[in-house]
Amino acid sequence: MFDTGSRLAAGVLGFDIGGANIKAATDSGQSDSIFFPMWQRPHDLAESLVAIARTFGPSDCWAVTMTGEMADAFFDRQIGVKHIAKQAVVAAAEVGCNDVVFYSVAGRFLTIDEVLADPDQVASANWHALANWVAQEIDSPALLIDIGSTTTDIIPISPAIVSTPSQTDFDRLVASELVYIGGGRTPVCALVSQLPFRGKNVPVMREVFATTDDCALVLGWCNESPEDRMTSDGGPRTIAAAINRLARMIGLDHRGITLNDAHAIASSVVDSASAIITAAIASQPLSHRNRWILSGHTAEYFLSASLARSSSIRIERLADRLGPELSRVGPALACAKLLVKSRQQLQTAGAAR
C-alpha cells in the first residue's frame, strides 16, 4: 500500500506548480518544495523549475500538474496555463529532458501541443491527480481531505476512480468539494466578522493584517521561522510578530494585547474555519463519510475537534504512510507514480499485440 519505492520507469519527476509554492517529487520517493509567488514572478518560473530539477539529478520525463494559472498575474486561466506549460518545457530542456507531459482532469497525460490547443483540460487538476492515485491505493469509498496553506479539497473517491462529477474550480466550489481555506494564507478577515477580547466581541478590521498562519504560530502548531518574511506585513514569522498582526485585526497592537488574548483570538478564527470545513464535509455523500484519508500539512489544524469525536469514522493519514515530506507534495508524487503506471500499461499492451 502506498508503494513509493518501486520504479516501473526510470527518472520520472513530478511537479505541482501552484500559485504560491512549487512542489516536486520523483517516482522513487524523493521530494522538494519551495515558495514561489507566481503573482509576483511568473517569468521566473522556468529558472525556479530548473533549480529544483537539478537537486534531483537527471530525469527521463516530467509529469506536471498545476493550479498556478489562477494567480492574478494572468488575465485568465488559459493564459496562465499556456505560460506555465511553456515555462515547464523550457526548464526541462535546460536540464536535458525533452519529454514533458501534463495531467488533465480527465485523468490522462497530455503533450504540450494538446495543452496549448485546449488549456482548460489541465487547469487546476492537481486535486484529481492526488485523488486518482489514492483511489488506486486504498480501501474505498472514502473522503480524501487535503488541506494545505491555501485551500481544502474534499474529494469523494471510489475504487480506482474519482467519483465526483465536479471538474472545474467553479463546479467544485458549488459542490463544497473545494473550500478556499488553508492553514497559511487565508486572511483572518475572510473567516470572522468579530473577535473576542476580554469579554467583548470586537468587529474586525477588514484588512489583511493577519492570516491563519499567525493563528497557527500563536497556538503553537508550527515552528517559528524568523528569516521567513512572507507574512501579511512582511514581518518575521515569529510568535511576537504574529501577536502584533492579530492585534491589528481589532485596532490594537502588541502593546495592548497579551499572549492569552492572542490565543483566544486565534482559537476563534480556527473555530470559524473549522465550522466551514466541517459543514462542507457533512454535505458529501453519506456513503463516503465514514472513512477519511487526511492529506496536507495543515489538516490537523482545522479537524482536531472532529477527529477527537470521530470514533465512528475510520481515519488514515497519508503522512503516516508516506512520511510528512512526501505527504506535503502529494499531487507531485501522484503525477510521477501515475505516469509510471500509465506507461507501463502501454508497454504491456504493446507487448501483448
Same domain for 97 and 210: no
Same domain for 139 and 41: yes
Residue 205 sits in a domain whose CATH number is: 3.30.420.190
Is 119 within a domain?
yes
CB contact set of 117 (below 8 Å; sequence gap of 6+): none
Which of 277, 308, 331 terminates a domain? The answer is 277
pLDDT score at 223: 95
Same domain for 163 and 41: yes
Is 129 within a domain?
yes
Which of 277, 309, 341 terminates a domain? The answer is 277
pLDDT of the chain, 353 residues: tens digit per residue:
444 444 333 489 999 999 999 999 999 999 999 999 999 999 999 999 999 999 998 999 999 999 999 999 999 999 999 999 999 999 999 999 999 999 999 999 999 999 999 999 999 999 999 999 999 988 789 999 999 999 999 999 987 666 666 688 999 999 999 999 999 999 999 999 999 999 999 999 999 999 999 999 999 999 999 999 999 999 999 999 999 999 999 999 999 999 999 999 999 999 999 999 999 999 999 999 999 999 998 999 999 878 777 778 899 999 999 998 999 999 999 999 999 998 888 777 767 66
CB contact set of 241 (below 8 Å; sequence gap of 6+): 231, 233, 235
3-state DSSP assignment of residue 296: coil
Rg (CA), the chain: 21
Same domain for 237 and 157: no
pLDDT score at 10: 44
Task: Find the domain containing 196 and state its range.
Answer: 188-277
CB contact set of 265 (below 8 Å; sequence gap of 6+): 195, 196, 197, 215, 218, 246, 249, 250
Cell triple for residue 264?
483566544
Same domain for 237 and 330: no
Beta-strand runs (E) in the chain: 12-17, 21-26, 31-35, 61-66, 100-103, 109-110, 142-147, 152-158, 161-162, 178-179, 194-197, 200-203, 291-295, 314-317
CB atoms within 10 A of CB 291: 18
Distance, CA of 266 to CA of 212 (rounded, Å): 8
Same domain for 302 and 332: yes
pLDDT score at 353: 66
CA quadruple 220, 221, 227, 232: dihedral sign:
negative
pLDDT score at 134: 93
Is 4 within a domain?
no
CA atoms within 13 A on the CB side of 352: 6
Same domain for 342 and 225: no
